[in-house]
Chain A
Amino acid sequence: MAGNQNSGGMRPTAPQNNPANISATGGAGQSGKQPSRYISGMPYGQGQQLMQQQKSAPMSAGPASPAAPTPTPFERRTPSGATLTDPLATPDRHITAGVDFGPGVGSEALPSNISGETRPTDNLAVVKKYYPAMLRAAQLKDAPDSYKRFLSYLSGQISG
């Protein structure tokens, strides 16, 4: 018999028969109704009967959910509903209170179990990990002097 032996017929492995390929949001069509779907494996004649039943009483599609725009880091909300740039709940305390830069009290205001002596060790571990890559970047054309000064400081920290 001439012709391609793979042509024709129902293939269970075809993409249209893979349940994973069905749109989770009910994407087929714009009619607002669910499309009719042929159900295979029924006795002779019943498949066609089911198709006609589906066409005569179409099910309505679920409401379409519009894609929400991706928020920027400053628009993302915390579990409490606040964003990064919202006014502070405690306006008398600056956002950098408790750290050693910016306005407000420094780390001396933290409880003793937080402001332990582990930070310099942790800092050095982080610096040592990334120093080789940062050093290569310092050799790039136009690397700013401020960056080179910072690496010079880190070099002193590592060797000292």
Chain B
Amino acid sequence: MLQIHISVFLVTCLDKLVDKWREGTLYDHIDQFANSLGYENAAVAISLAMIPWESVQDRNSFIQAITGDSPKGNDGRDYVSGMPRR
């Protein structure tokens, strides 16, 4: 019972910490890869998003290299940065 309470508390704390969309997170990577590679390649996009990219720039260079186009996704908005830009 105590373990359940602790788990709920930790999940709640985690939710508080990640309550904003951040650049360079797993979900941002998923957004970028899915919109750059196409929705029909969702599994590939999710797998590539799980790579521990060292920076947003690294990830974007990779997308540029394999698609021949600049990364899509994010709707071009300026959001909270979660990773260093290089």
Contact B67 A102 (CB under 8 A): yes
**Residue B77 is within 8 A (CB to CB) of chain A in the complex:** yes
- Could you say which of A102, A103, A134 contacts B30, with CB atoms under 8 Å apart? A134
Complexed CA–CA distance, A147 and B37 (Å)? 13
Judge if A145 is at the interface, Cβ distance under 8 Å: yes
Interface residue stretch chosen among A5-13, A29-37, A41-49, A121-129:
A121-129
Contact A102 B68 (CB under 8 A): yes
Flag B50-75 by CB within 8 Å of A: 1 or 0 each: 01011000100110011110001111
Docked Cα-Cα span, A39 to B23, in Å, equals: 58
- Counting chain B residues whose Cβ lies within 8 A of the other chain, the interface size class is 35 or more
Q: Does A2 lie at the interface of the complex (its beta carbon under 8 Å from any beta carbon of B)?
A: no
Q: Is A73 an interface residue (CB 8 A)?
A: yes
Enumerate chain B residues within 8 angstroms of A103, measured Cβ to Cβ: 68
Q: How many A-B contacts if CB must be within 8 Å? A: 97
Question: A85 contacts the other chain (Cβ, under 8 Å)?
Answer: yes
A67 to B6, CA, bound (A): 42
Q: For the complex, give the distance between the alpha carbons of A142 and B20 in Å.
A: 7
A89 within 8 A of B: no
Interface status of A108 (Cβ within 8 A of chain B): no
Quick check: B73 and A144 within 8 Å, CB to CB? yes
B67–A72 CB distance below 8 A? no
Q: Which residue of B lies closest to A102 (CB)?
A: B67
Q: Is the pair A146, B31 in contact by a Cβ cutoff of 8 Å?
A: yes
B2 within 8 A of A: no
Given A144-B21, A146-B73, A147-B31: A85 in contact with B39 (beta carbons within 8 A): no
Q: B18 at interface (Cβ–Cβ under 8 A)?
A: yes
Q: Mark A118-160, 1 if CB is under 8 A from B, else 0.
A: 0100110011001000100100111111110010011001000
Contact A142 B77 (CB under 8 A): yes
Interface: B27 (CB within 8 A): yes
In this assembly, does B1 line the interface, its C-beta being within 8 Å of a C-beta of chain A? no
What residues on B are CB-neighbors of A143 within 8 Å? 21, 27
Q: Is A74 within 8 A of B58, CB to CB?
A: yes
Residues in B lying within 8 Å of A, measured CB to CB: 18-21, 27, 30-31, 34-44, 46-47, 51, 53-54, 58, 61-62, 65-68, 72-75, 77, 79-80
